[in-house]
Amino acid sequence: MARVNSVDVSALPREGFGVASPAWWGTIGFMVIEGSSLVLCAFAYAYLSRRSPMWPPSGIAPLRLGVGTLVAAAFLLSLVPAIMLHRAAKSLDRGVVLLMLLIGASIEAIIVGLRGYELHALPMRWDGTAYGSTVWFTMGLHTTLLVMDFGETLVFAALFLRGSVDKRHFADVADSVLYWFFVVLIWIPLYFMLYVAPRAL
Amino acid sequence: MTSAVDEHAVLANTWGTPRGPLGWLTSVDHKSVGLRFIGTALFFLALGGVLALTMRTQLARPETHLLTPQLYNQFFSMHGTTMMFLFAVPAMMGLGIYLVPLMIGTRNVIFPRLLAYAYWVYLIGGLFLYSGLVTGNGAPAGWFSYTPLSETQFDPTKGSDIWAQTITFTEISMMAVAVTLIVTILKQRAPGMSLNRIPLFVWSILVTSFMVVFAMTTIATASFFLAADRLINTRFFDDARGGDALLWQHLFWLFGHPEVYIIFLPATGIVSHLVTTFSRRPMFGYTPIVFATIATGIISFGVWVHHMFATGLPQLGLGFYTASSLIVTIPTAIQLFCWIATLWSGQPQWRVPLLFVLGFFFILVRGGLTGVMLASVPFDLQAHDTYFVVGHLHDVLIGGAVFPLMGALLYWYPKATGRMPSEVAGRWAFGLLFIGQNLTFLPMHLLGLHGMPRRVYTYLASTGWGGLNLLETVGAYILALGVLVTVANLIVSRFTGPRAGNDPWGADTLEWATTSPPPPGNFAEIPVVMSRDPNWDPARPEDRPVVTGLPLDRRELLFTSALDATPVRRIELPGPTIWSLPAALGTAVGLIMLIFTPWGLVVGTLLAVPPLVVWAWPKHGGSA
């Protein structure tokens, strides 16, 4: 005999996007942890800058604005296929998702290369001054997020190329796009902090 | 319609873990992982306790040379690191892992494989710290590893490297646990368990988990800075190259003070349950307690500078941190008054777990009051780095966390084992712990006021500190005996304790509505919650509403809305896996290599990522 107030859940869906997806929560968790870490790097950068009469310290050239701006622009540009990928994933369009995953992976590969050049172009090492240490650490930490997302995009591309995907995987792709937004958008204030602020202030 | 017996068999088959060593290595059941966390934390408590007893033996008389000054430094550093990172937080979070799914009426946590991974990382990290001590590389610079003392210039051993990496191990572990528990609590509560019906222990674990995410990120980043300073000569804390040793203190205490509340808040959650159950009435002031818990969590991030009053910071800043340090006592006082009101208006049954609550009240209030004294800058400058502070912090941490934890172990023991612990042994243990605590730490306040500094390996007879020190050492051994009696009680009762039944204490929350120990999958039927104290609902258990339509032959559970716990969708969880272990081993190899070469980062990634991809590669289930 059915009990009073019992709840029948047999008709509930077995998949969901956003807050109804565990991967979304996992992604948010990653973003909070890594975002906090980057904020702390920025805190250390700002804290140490106030202890130094000159910033960058004397004898160290400012970071090359052109290179930094190029990388930041590439990041922003990558949002276009990312937004299209997010839309395609939400409408369960497998063909467009695969296409955008491949385009996204290609753009991320280019950005990884550009970031390599950006690090190569830094005018100081990490072991000369605390300034160099904070700049290298902030960029290095962000680079690990970039590489991680690149790897994730490759894994999803492989998954969709193999073809055996269901609705849940579309939700996972949508969540991975969310992570890419985070990687891009958190870089913009850091770009201003590292490249623009020392020139402007 | 299948019979109840069939249903249980199907559930056990679906949610069970393989038997034998393979099962031990592959289990993703929150109950076994939670118990492992607790068991391992108690093991580290024993190790940290042995270190403490050795130090107390050294200090019992003046000019004793049982330990060399160098070894003494390593002992107190390892003792603090062990108790904070390897015992207290993992024990509390382990309790959360075990209890939260049972209390909120779900079958497992949302990321069970991540949880198993977190355990292995924690275990390896803890053993790694002790590998340093036995090889002459014990951490030498205190549990806070202050720079420049922990920089290569003053510590050329690998001790501070091992310390920094141990921190990374435990933080990876605790952050994984925290994220898992947050999502589980927000999204997997049984239908009807709206925010205002969440058990208070679960509230405390939720707030604590958020604190872990932010606080542990801070220390993980800071310890990475330190490790880099030592390995690749970065200059974060090097004053000569534009760095700042005080930056370390800011980062450390931005973590370090919330850490105290990360340990304390779950203890308040425990106390709420013990008080409710043994007062035989619902908690007085549930809502104020919830808000006090949240307020404590937030304010605790704004008090860290009170650890740095003696570093010469600007006066205005010090005033602010005195104020915030005083303010943080208000929510704790609110909780305290709510517990007292509940006991006052209830029908208290003085069973052993409740005795530990009384001990908690007494010692915590004393520790809190000495904390108020220390929050005042003029007093702090006098008592800083003396035994007064040692007495204060042990009152807060042992009174505020270990006493409730001991009460919790005895209270939830019947649920985990199906047997009752011995009441007589419990009373003896409580008596020994209470007397030991007071004998050990009360005289420290006096010694501190007499000028005995912390972290000295010995002292001269002419100081006149010998008598009180001897008394403290006697107290420390009594305290240790109390812990031993508790552990013996837990072990022996496993075989000789009377059968407990589902609900031996007549308690109000959902974990007592299932069998003891709970079956794989926790509940034969997922309950529907109609009140804040669901197990005290007037309806007979067999008449209470349940969730129907959830298949038993798959690892399916219910995702509900965060505020009202309305069912949203069904989720299929992954089953046991061996891949958590190689992922943890890969992480460990990378972190340990990082002590010697930066290539550890690359090697660790290459070793840890493939198992992670294999375990997360979609087969049947959705989440990790």
Report the CATH number that the domain containing residue B255 is assigned in CATH. Answer: 1.20.210.10
pLDDT score recorded for residue B1? 43
Judged by a CB distance cut-off of 8 A, whether residue B5 touches chain A is: no
Percentage of chain B exceeding pLDDT 90: 89
Which residues in chain B are closer than 8 Å to A9, comparing Cβ atoms?
Answer: 547-550, 558, 567, 570
Number of domains composing chain B: 1
B295 residue type, one letter: A
What's residue B6's pLDDT?
78
**According to the model, what pLDDT value does residue B430 have?**
98
User: For residue A64, which phi and psi values (nearest 5 degrees)?
Assistant: -75, 110
Q: How far is B148 from chain A (nearest CA, A)?
A: 14
Mean pLDDT of B590-612: 92
Question: How far does the CA of residue A165 sit from the closest CA of chain B (Å)?
Answer: 9
As a whole number, mean pLDDT of residues B186-190 equals 97
Confidence of residue B618 (pLDDT cuts 50, 70, 90): low
Q: Which helix (H) or strand (E) holds A8?
A: strand A7-8
Candidate from B183, B217, B550 with C-beta closest to A22:
B183
CA–CA gap between residue B76 and residue B55 (Å, rounded): 8
Whether B78 maps to a domain, the answer reads: no
List pLDDT tens digits, range B67-112.
999 999 999 999 999 999 999 999 999 999 999 999 999 999 999 9
Nearest to B322 by CA among B307, B335, B336, B306: B306
> Which chain B residues touch A130 with a CB distance below 8 Å?
234-236, 238, 241-244
Q: How does residue B620 score in pLDDT terms, banded at 50, 70 and 90?
A: very low
Of the residues A4, A9, A149, the best mutation for testing chain B's interface (the one with the most B CB atoms within 10 Å of its CB) is A9
B492: pLDDT strictly greater than 80: yes
Res B8 pLDDT > 90: no
Q: B218 to chain A: which residues are within 8 Å by CB?
A: 36, 40
- Give the C-alpha separation, B573 to B115, whole Å: 13
Question: Quick one: pLDDT at residue B56?
Answer: 97
List, for residues B113-137, the tens digit of each pLDDT value: 999 999 999 999 999 999 999 999 9
What range defines the domain where residue B410 resides?
4-72+87-616
Among A41, A48, A155, beta carbon nearest to B243: A48
The residue of chain A with its CA nearest to that of B601 is A144
Q: Is B559 on the interface with A (CB under 8 A)?
A: yes
The answer to whether B392 touches B455, Cβ cutoff 8 Å, is no
- The predicted-structure confidence for B234-278, as pLDDT tens digits, reads as follows 999 999 999 999 999 999 999 999 999 999 999 999 999 999 999
The series of mean pLDDT values per 10 residues for chain A, 201 residues long, is 77 88 92 96 95 90 95 95 95 93 95 96 94 97 95 91 83 92 97 93 72
Residue B330 is predicted with a pLDDT of 94
pLDDT recorded at residue B57? 97
Would you state the pLDDT for residue B463? 96
pTM listed for this prediction: 0.96
Task: Give φ, ψ of A8 to 5 degrees.
Answer: -90, 120
Whether B256 maps to a domain, the answer reads yes
Q: Which residue has the tokens 């915030």?
A: B324
| pLDDT higher than 60, residue B2 | no
Give the pLDDT score at B437: 98
ipTM of this predicted structure = 0.93
pLDDT of A199: 87
Q: Which residues of B touch A15 (CB under 8 A)?
A: 569, 622
Residue B82 forms part of a structural domain: no
Rounded to whole angstroms, how far apart are CA atoms A100 and A160?
A: 11
Q: Mark yes or no for CB contact B217/A26 under 8 Å.
A: no
Evaluate whether residue B81 is within a structural domain. Answer: no
- B501-547 pLDDT, tens digit per residue, is 999 999 999 999 999 999 999 999 999 999 999 999 988 888 899 99
Q: CA–CA separation, B406 vs A136, rounded Å?
A: 46
Q: Which amino acid is at B61?
A: R
With CB atoms and an 8 Å threshold, state whether A132 touches B235.
yes
Q: Is A77 on the interface with B (CB under 8 A)?
A: no
Residue A164 has a pLDDT of: 75
Q: What percent of chain B has pLDDT over 70?
A: 98
| Look-up of token digits 């500190």 | B465
Q: Please check whether residue B621 lies inside any domain of the structure.
A: no
The answer for residues whose C-beta is within 8 angstroms of residue A91's C-beta and 6 or more apart is none
Cross-chain Cβ contact B213/A155 below 8 Å:
no
- Which tokens belong to B98? 């075990």
The two three-digit tokens of residue A37, written as one number: 């870490």
Place of tokens 């007592």: B512
Assigned token pair, B620: 């049947």
A57 contact residues in B (CB cutoff 8 A): 242
Interface A-B: count of C-beta contacts within 8 A: 166
pLDDT value, residue B614 = 82
Which of A1, A133, A155 has the highest number of chain B CBs within 10 A, making it the mutation to test binding with B? A133
CB spacing of A40 vs B218 below 8 angstroms: yes
Q: Determine the pLDDT at residue B313.
A: 85
Query: Which among B175, B567, B618 has the least Cβ separation from residue A7?
Result: B567
- Residue A1's contacts (CB-CB under 8 Å, 6 or more residues apart) are none
pLDDT at B513: 95
Contacts of A56 in chain B (CB under 8 A): none
Q: What angle do CA B527, B528, B530 make, to 5 degrees?
A: 130
Q: Is B623 contained in some domain?
A: no
- A91 part of contact set with chain B, CB < 8 Å: no
Residues 237-276 of B with CB under 8 A from A: 238, 241-244, 247, 250-251
Check residue B300 and give its pLDDT.
94
Provide the pLDDT for residue A5: 75
B550 neighbourhood in chain A, CB within 8 Å: 9-10
Residue B80 included in any domain: no
From B4-13, B295-304, B599-608, the region with the lowest mean pLDDT:
B4-13
> Contacts of residue B557 in chain A, CB cutoff 8 Å?
none
With a cut of 50, say whether residue B347 has pLDDT above it: yes
Cβ–Cβ gap B569/A14 under 8 Å: yes
B624 and chain A in contact, CB less than 8 A: yes
| pLDDT band, very low/low/confident/very high, at B4 (cuts 50, 70, 90) | low
Domains of chain A by start residue, with CATH: 21-200 (1.20.120.80)
Nearest to A26 among B179, B243, B546 (CB): B179
